[in-house]
Amino acid sequence: MRGNDNGGRLGEEFFTPGTSSFTEFLAAHRPELLSTRRILPDGVRAAPDRVPHGTTVLALAYRDGVLIAGDRRATMGNLIAQRDLEKVHPADDHTAVAFAGTVGLALDMVKLYQVELAHFEKIEGTAMTLDAKARRLAGMLRQNLGQAMQGLAVVPLLTGYDATAPEGERGRIFSFDVAGGLYEKRDFHAEGSGSPYARGALKKLFHRGMDRREAALAALQALYDAADDDSATGGPDINRRIFPIVSVITEDGFERLPEPETEELSREMVEQRRGRPDGPNATP
Active site residue 55: yes
> How confident is the model at residue 242, as a pLDDT?
97
> Per mean pLDDT, which range of 41-45, 130-134, 218-222, 256-260 is the poorest?
41-45
The torsion region of residue 152 among left (phi > 0), alpha (psi -120 to 50) and beta comes to beta
3 pLDDT tier (thresholds 50, 70, 90): very low
pLDDT higher at 97 or 36: 97
> How confident is the model at residue 106, as a pLDDT?
93
Angle between helices 103-124 and 130-143 (to 10 degrees): 130
Q: Stretch 121-138: mean pLDDT, rounded?
A: 93
Question: If you ran DSSP here, which 8-state letter would residue 242 be given?
Answer: B
pLDDT single digits (tens) 84-95:
999 999 999 999
pLDDT higher at 281 or 5: 281
Query: What is the model's pTM?
Result: 0.86
> How confident is the model at residue 130, as a pLDDT?
97
Q: For the chain, give the mean pLDDT.
A: 88
Q: Stretch 214-221: mean pLDDT, rounded?
A: 98
271: Cβ contacts below 8 Å, ≥ 6 apart: none
Catalytic residue among 16, 19, 23, 55: 55
Asked whether the predicted pLDDT for residue 188 surpasses 70, the reply is yes
3-state secondary structure of 136: helix
Q: Are 190 and 56 in contact (CB under 8 A)?
A: yes
Query: Cα separation of 203 and 218, whole Å?
Result: 10
> How confident is the model at residue 23, as a pLDDT?
65
What are the φ and ψ backbone dihedral angles of 264, each rounded to 5 degrees?
A: -60, -45
3-state secondary structure of 227: helix
**What is the percent of the chain with per-residue pLDDT over 90, rounded to a whole number?**
68
**What is the percent of the chain with per-residue pLDDT over 70, rounded to a whole number?**
82
